[in-house]
Amino acid sequence: MSVIENCQIIELPRIFDARGNLTFVEDQHLPFKMKRVFWIYDVPGGEVRGGHAYRTSEEFVICLSGSMEMLVNDGNKRVMYTLNRSYYGLYIPHCIWRQMINFSTNSVVLVLSSTEYNHDDYIYNFDEFLSLREDMTRWHT
Ligand code: TYD
């Protein structure tokens, strides 16, 4: 089962150019095959996004512009990542609780997901998340 150590910063290629730099992402850079892309923008100061986990979805989160902080939690440990560059992102496996905080003005966050949108994949209740993880741990040991 995924744990906090499975979250990882992945650096993407950078093509430096006097006309402006370029970065790209392909399936080969990610531990999953992407099925959906969405982005978060116009976040009012002080707002918190996320506050859930996914049963199956894996994500790769890049802050394309500005900055924000991603808090990830596997039920045992919490780690906070600052995302503030467009050439790297954070990989988050399934079953990890996440919260996005401290968005800077005009920040734009791009998310690549391993699944299409499915409301039933969400776990919005933290206690439910913890008991699901306990069940999964029992199942796997
Ligand atoms: P949600 O994932 O809860 O946002 P966040 O985690 O950033 O706080 O999604 C917010 C709303 O948008 C929710 O009603 C579902 C909808 N939504 C889609 O319809 N498709 C999508 O791909 C995503 C990510 C969300």
- Is the per-residue pLDDT at 136 higher than 90? no
Cβ count within 10 A of residue 61: 22
- Is the per-residue pLDDT at 140 higher than 80? no
User: Tell me, what's the pLDDT at 137?
Assistant: 81
User: Tell me, what's the pLDDT at 139?
Assistant: 73
135-137-140-141 Cα dihedral, nearest 10 degrees: -120
CA–CA gap between residue 29 and residue 95 (Å, rounded): 21
CA–CA gap between residue 129 and residue 91 (Å, rounded): 19
Report which ligand 1 atom has the smallest distance to the Cα of 111. 24
* Residues acting as catalytic residues: 52
Cβ count within 10 A of residue 105: 9
Which residues form the pocket of ligand 1, taking CB atoms under 6 Å from any ligand atom? 36, 38, 40, 49-50, 117
Q: Are 62 and 86 in contact (CB under 8 A)?
A: yes
Mutate-to-test residue for ligand 1 from 37, 38, 109, highest number of ligand atoms within 8 A of CB: 38
Residue owning the nearest CA to atom 20 of ligand 1: 117
- Is the per-residue pLDDT at 73 higher than 80? yes
Among the residue ranges 29-38, 71-80, 131-140, the one predicted with the least confidence is: 131-140
CA–CA gap between residue 124 and residue 121 (Å, rounded): 10
Q: Which pTM was predicted?
A: 0.96
User: Tell me, what's the pLDDT at 141?
Assistant: 60
Could you tell me how many residues make up the chain? Answer: 141
Q: Are 23 and 88 in contact (CB under 8 A)?
A: no
Mutate-to-test residue for ligand 1 from 49, 71, 92, highest number of ligand atoms within 8 A of CB: 49
